[in-house]
Amino acid sequence: MREISEKTIDTIATHPLQSWAWGEFRKKWGNEVVRFSFGQITVHKLYFLPFKVAIFNKGPKPTKKMIEELRDYASKNNILFVKLEPNVLKNNSDISLLKEHGAISGKTLFTPSTFTIDLTKSEDDLLKSFNQKTRYNIRLAEKKGVTIKEDNSDKAFETYWRLTEETAKRQGFFVHTKKYHELMWSTMHKAGVAHILSATFDKKTLAAWILFIWKDTLYYPYGASSDEYKNVMAPNLMMWEAIKFGKRHKLKSFDLWGREEGKGFTKFKEGYNPKIVEFLGTWDLVCSPLYWGYRIAEYLRWKILKFKAKFS
């Protein structure tokens, strides 16, 4: 397979997880990264087994040629399946193509839908569109003296990580290690993609978000907050300032990185009157009959991880 250049990858990438920088981060983390003319996959070894799985996150519209290339590579490299989560709007023709070529619905890594905010609108029009309670909370945070600023220093990252640990413990969810976040941050920030916004009140940082800029879109992949001073509504002002941050960079859209029915943070995002966007979803391109054994083992693994996160 011929070498694919950084320029080629970044030209075709419609999402930061398909950027060259993200691939370099995954290499540093220990994954094998394989680049094709249509995008890049990460290859993951299975513990204690001579098999691998591949993940193709936020790739382009699936085609017969793409699927054939992926299946051919998988068959030659002991890969059980390729997980596909295309950065493509939901449509019946692409779903039919995937099914026709042996792909089945798989366990999601990304939610199948997200929220987006149109950054081409004026600030006044955006603010008017928000939920009344959201507007009130923004004004309250401003009145209380909450300040939002971009701070990409080492100290800001350390604060972000401290708040991430605090948030994960409080809400009982699994997060990657500090080393993972350090590698992600250093690589993506150096590439000009990642930025940290911090919300401060009474000389304390109450929230820290890492935002990605990719082409004409702002993304909100990582965020954490303190349980202190909840009454000053720092996250509400943070979101509003993130929107204005995107407008200052002349971006067209703000992707809020996921939507899950019934979750508290989804309700928070809904206050900003975002548009719901549905993707093709998650598809496993099965390349080995051993795939089904893997599915059972993976189900049990995630049950254990969630249990540990809840009680650690």
10-residue mean pLDDT series, the chain (312 residues): 88 98 97 97 88 96 97 96 98 98 93 97 98 98 98 98 94 89 98 98 97 98 95 98 98 95 87 98 95 80 71 60
State the SS3 of 129-149. Answer: HCCHHHHHHHHHHHHHCCEEE
For the chain, the structural domain boundaries read: 6-111+280-311, 113-278
Selection from 191, 193, 186, 184 nearest residue 251 by Cα: 193
pLDDT at 261: 84
Burial 129-155 (b: 16+ CB within 10 A, else e): ebeeebbebbeebbeeebebeebeeee
Supply the pTM of this predicted model: 0.92
Backbone φ and ψ of 213, nearest 5°: -110, 120
Domain topology for 113-278? Aminopeptidase (3.40.630)
**What separation, in Å, do the N-terminal and C-terminal C-alpha atoms of the chain show?**
45
Selection from 307, 291, 312, 304 nearest residue 105 by Cα: 291
Class of domain 6-111+280-311: alpha beta
One fold for both 6-111+280-311 and 113-278? yes
The whole-angstrom separation of Cα 267 and Cα 273 is 10
pLDDT at 2: 66
pLDDT at 264: 78
